[in-house]
Amino acid sequence: MVEDNPGAYLDHAAATTLDPRVRAAMAPFVDAAFGSPESLHDWARRPAEALEHARTQVGALIGADPEGVIFTAGDTEARNLAVKGIVAANAHRGAHIVTSSVEHPATLAACRTLARDRAELTTVGVDATGHIDPVQLAAAVRDDTVLVTICHGQAEIGTVQNVATLVAAVRARKPDVTIHVDAGVTAGVVPINVTAWDCDAATIGGGSMGGPRWAGALWVREGTRLHPLIEGGLQEGGKRGGAHDMPGIVGLGEAARLAAIEIDTRSAHMTALADRLIHRLLAVDDVRLNGPSMGRVPGHVQVSAGRVEGETLVLTLAAKGVAASPGSACSAAGKASPVLEAIGLEPPWTHSAILFTLAPTTTETQIDFAATAFADAVASLRAMSPLGSDA
Amino acid sequence: MKTVDALGTWCPVPIHLIDRAITTVAPGDDVVLLADDPLIEVDLPAWCHDTGHELMALHHDSGGYRAVVRCRSGRVATT
């Protein structure tokens, strides 16, 4: 149990605690307000009002018209809905997709699934800090391109893209192409305005804003062609069939409302603590920061430690009471993270990455505890390494 | 003009969606329905006949169907 662990939980991207205020807002909808918002009787009234209120709250956080908000079961579903739904609905215009090499695995998997069938996929590379070049992105767009999908914040190395610049470059090449922005990592911690971005669709999730991580949403601009991924009902205007997860949706809405108010405070707190952690981690010999030194997703810190295997380091830290994630996508199979390869890292750096993700509740004490444990763990693992402690 | 996007949905969802949407517009206002279920060619005229709303246009191209329905009055129950 995390609450019984005196150590440092710095794996908030994997799972995080629910803001108590969000939990309080959700509570009635697992109890007395259990009705379906789709029903015609009195039990539907409160859920129906809460559903539209949550839609307004989510829209307000991202500068979007609430009518375009489609609730989903988390941001992974929203990414799938965006990619598969937009491509399917625009099949008469073409079947070419443009994306980047640092997208969330859900986005890449959805794109590859379509490419396996009949779509064509162009993946644009990034620079050493994970930034997409707007000129390269626009150059990849063709006359038959129906979807450009890019991430706002990178989930592993924390790079925050200049979305407005990227969208403008794409629009200059093909004004009517549909552009989806994945803000699943940044919603609630980095200001988002989809109207200013001039995109057509955006993904958000509850986890990054202290809401239920199993709740998410896809916003689509009016007039954007989209097919549903989950069919079978009138819910969400027919774009997402299935019963509404009312506790999750209400929680997402309340989390969005709170995030809109507290975003500056949260961002400043997590950025300061992340900088403190980075400073301490880089003080250890032969450790490098992955991703940019500035302009990161607040609270995202990924480093690679030379002569140490990432998963072993995570397990060693876990034994010391520190929760983090390995930076490698599938270290058991000896595979490097595609994101780390995309920024030009090579072994052993690709296999020695570790990701710390902070939350607004993270404390300096936890950061210092984790940093000390990291230094101890790296030293002990290097002492056991056949490469030696100073190889 | 209000647009109902029923793309990717199958009968009876497009009809249910326009039945909902027509209640939100004033009499005489038009609602655009986008759909790609071929049954819309049968269902929409039938729904208009039943409810009294007026089917102003129903076009089909490679992107699907685009229909314009004029609201006859406020909500009229679908039979």
Tens digits of per-residue pLDDT, A82-95? 999 999 999 999 99
Residues 35-64 of B with CB under 8 A from A: 36, 61-64
CA A15-A20-A21 angle, 5° bins: 120
Q: Do residues B48 and B54 touch, judged by C-beta distance below 8 A?
A: yes
User: Distance (Å, rounded) from C-alpha A365 to C-alpha A368?
Assistant: 5
Q: Which amino acid is at A189?
A: V
Nearest-Cα residue of chain A relative to residue B9: A238
Residue A4: what pLDDT? Answer: 56
Distance between B67 CA and the closest CA of chain A, angstroms: 14
Of B3, B17, B63, Cβ closest to residue A238: B17
Q: What is the pLDDT of residue A336?
A: 81
Q: Comparing C-alpha atoms, which of A309, A314, A277, A315 is closest to residue A296? A: A277
Q: What is the pLDDT of residue B79?
A: 39
Angstrom distance (rounded) from CA A219 to CA A152? 14
- CB within 8 Å: B16 and A234: yes
Helix (H) / strand (E) element for A252: namely helix A246-282
pLDDT of residue A334: 61
Task: Calculate how close chain A gets to B69, using CA atoms only, in Å.
Answer: 17
Residues whose CB is less than 8 angstroms from the CB of residue B39 and which lie 6 or more positions away in sequence, other chains included: B10, B11
Gap from A225 CA to chain B (nearest CA, Å): 7
Compute how many other C-beta atoms are within 10 angstroms of the C-beta atom of residue A245.
Answer: 18
Whether A151 is a known active-site residue: answer: no
Among the listed residues A111, A151, A199, A330, the single catalytic one is A330
| pLDDT reported for residue A330 | 46
Q: Which amino acid is at A245?
A: D
With CA atoms as reference, the chain B residue closest to A225 would be B7
Check if B12 contacts A (Cβ < 8 Å). Answer: no
Q: What is the pLDDT along chain A (391 residues), one digit of tens a residue?
A: 445 566 999 999 999 999 999 999 999 999 888 899 988 899 999 999 999 999 999 999 999 999 999 999 999 999 999 999 999 999 999 999 999 999 999 999 999 999 999 899 999 999 999 999 999 999 999 999 999 999 999 999 999 999 999 999 999 999 999 999 999 999 999 999 999 999 999 999 999 999 999 999 999 999 999 999 999 889 999 999 999 999 999 999 999 999 999 999 999 999 999 999 999 999 999 999 999 999 999 999 999 999 999 999 999 999 999 999 997 554 455 678 899 999 999 988 999 999 999 999 999 999 999 999 999 999 999 998 766 555 4
Chain B residues within 8 A of A94 when measuring between CB atoms: none
How high is the ipTM of this complex? 0.80
| DSSP one-letter code for A190 | S
Supply A191's token pair.
Answer: 């200001």
E-strand ranges in A1-117 read 8-9, 69-72, 96-100
* DSSP single-letter state for residue A126: B
Size of the A and B interface in Cβ pairs below 8 Å: 44
Q: What is the C-alpha to C-alpha distance for residues A333 and A298, in angstroms, rounded to an integer?
A: 31
Quote the minimal CA–CA distance from A84 to chain B in Å. 11
Residues from chain A that touch B37, judged by Cβ atoms under 8 A, are none
Burial of A365 (0-12, 13-18, 19+ CB in 10 A): exposed
Nearest to A215 by CA among A205, A230, A200, A203: A205
Q: Least CB-CB distance to A228: which of B8, B16, B62?
A: B8
8 A C-beta contact, residue A340 and residue A156: yes
CB-nearest partner of B17 from A223, A226, A237: A237
Q: If DSSP codes are grouped into helix, strand and coil, which group holds residue A308?
A: coil
Do A89 and B14 count as a contact with CB atoms less than 8 A apart?
no
Name chain B contacts of A237, Cβ cutoff 8 Å. Answer: 4-5, 17
Q: Does B75 touch chain A (CB under 8 A)?
A: no
CA B37 to chain centre: 12
Query: What digits encode the pLDDT tens for the residues B27-67?
Result: 999 999 999 999 999 999 999 999 999 999 999 999 999 99
Q: Give A81 to chain B, closest Cα distance, Å.
A: 12
The residues of B annotated as belonging to the active site are: 11
